């Protein structure tokens, strides 16, 4: 896969909101070094999210999602989640065997101090987890994309294979603490669920430059509106398309 969008050492920081209130902070980090997995060089990409302020007293959230992504093919070799949400905890590791077309998923058992028995799934070619799916979307050539065009990403989450359709909606300018940035707007088609309000409930703004990094996410939920917005960036591979 041709990658002109990101490099080692990239750091993006965000604030999280619910309605008019800031309720959390988050970041996306690409490690400053490569990691060797199955004799392949990999990017290590981590996404962090944590509640802040008074909200932290009511609903303490401290989550980490990560993946080791092959630098050549941009598919994940290993992904993981470390979820801490109040009293709920989950530690999960997913191994992807793209040669044999298999996925191994295992959860940690806190009572025994060991991982539970692995579960295995058949995998489609180029299957990705959520983190590597976002990174893959950033590398796509969008120079000829038209409003209404769709990108399809094959993914795996928890125990299901899905095909996520992401629709291009046009261009915009987003005002953030990091500056006013020209953006490309996308809407993923969400499956029916009890959290988000309709298939077009989520909107994502990516920078309209070679970086294609996420600037903003807006979500219409059954219990209100939530969002994520860029506050700072550093270590980007290319100049940012700022509005002066």
Structure confidence by residue, pLDDT tens digits, 38-96: 999 999 999 999 988 766 666 788 999 999 999 999 999 999 999 998 888 999 999 99
Residues 182, 179: Cα–Cα separation, whole Å: 10
Enter the DSSP assignment of 12: E
Query: How high is the pLDDT of residue 148?
Result: 93
Residues 201, 114: Cα–Cα separation, whole Å: 38
42 burial level (CB within 10 Å; 0-12, 13-18, 19+)? buried
The pLDDT of 229-235, averaged and rounded, is: 96
pLDDT tens readout for residues 177-224: 999 999 999 988 765 544 555 567 789 999 999 999 999 998 775 455
Query: How high is the pLDDT of residue 57?
Result: 65
Domain ranges of the chain: 11-67+125-234
Q: What is the mean pLDDT of the chain?
A: 89
CATH class of 11-67+125-234: mainly beta
The pLDDT of 99-116, averaged and rounded, is: 94
Nearest to 209 by CA among 159, 138, 144: 138
- As given in the structure block, the two tokens for residue 68 are 């080791």
- Report yes or no: 162 and 188 within 8 Å, Cβ to Cβ: no
Nearest to 96 by CA among 42, 140, 48: 42
- How many C-beta atoms lie closer than 10 Å to residue 7's C-beta? 15
- Report yes or no: 76 and 131 within 8 Å, Cβ to Cβ: yes
The pLDDT of 122-148, averaged and rounded, is: 89
User: Are β-strands 76-85 and 88-97 bridged in parallel, bridged antiparallel, or unpaired?
Assistant: antiparallel
Residues 157, 132: Cα–Cα separation, whole Å: 12
Which has more pLDDT, 42 or 130?
Answer: 42
The pLDDT of 28-46, averaged and rounded, is: 97
Query: How high is the pLDDT of residue 97?
Result: 95
């Amino acid at each position: 896969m041709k990658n002109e969008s990101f490099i080692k050492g990239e750091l993006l920081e965000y604030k999280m909101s619910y309605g008019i209130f800031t309720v959390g902070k988050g970041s996306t980090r690409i490690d400053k070094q490569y990691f060797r997995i199955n004799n392949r060089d990999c990017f290590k990409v981590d996404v962090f999210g944590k509640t802040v302020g008074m909200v932290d007293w009511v609903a303490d959230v401290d989550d980490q999602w990560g993946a080791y992504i092959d630098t050549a093919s941009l598919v994940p070799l290993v992904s993981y989640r470390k979820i801490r949400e109040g009293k709920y905890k989950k530690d999960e590791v997913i191994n992807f065997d793209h040669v044999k077309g298999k996925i191994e998923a295992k959860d940690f058992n806190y009572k025994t101090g060991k991982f539970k028995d692995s579960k295995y799934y058949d995998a489609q070619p180029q299957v990705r987890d959520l983190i590597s799916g976002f990174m893959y979307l950033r590398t796509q050539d969008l120079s000829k994309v038209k409003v209404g065009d769709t990108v399809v990403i094959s993914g795996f989450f928890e125990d299901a294979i899905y095909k996520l359709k992401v629709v291009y909606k046009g261009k915009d300018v987003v005002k953030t603490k990091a500056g006013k940035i020209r953006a490309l707007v996308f809407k993923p088609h969400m499956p029916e669920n009890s959290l988000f309000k309709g298939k077009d409930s989520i909107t994502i703004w990516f920078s309209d430059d070679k970086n294609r990094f996420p600037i903003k996410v807006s979500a219409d939920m059954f219990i209100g509106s939530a969002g994520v917005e860029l506050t700072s960036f550093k270590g980007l591979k290319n100049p940012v398309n700022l509005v002066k």
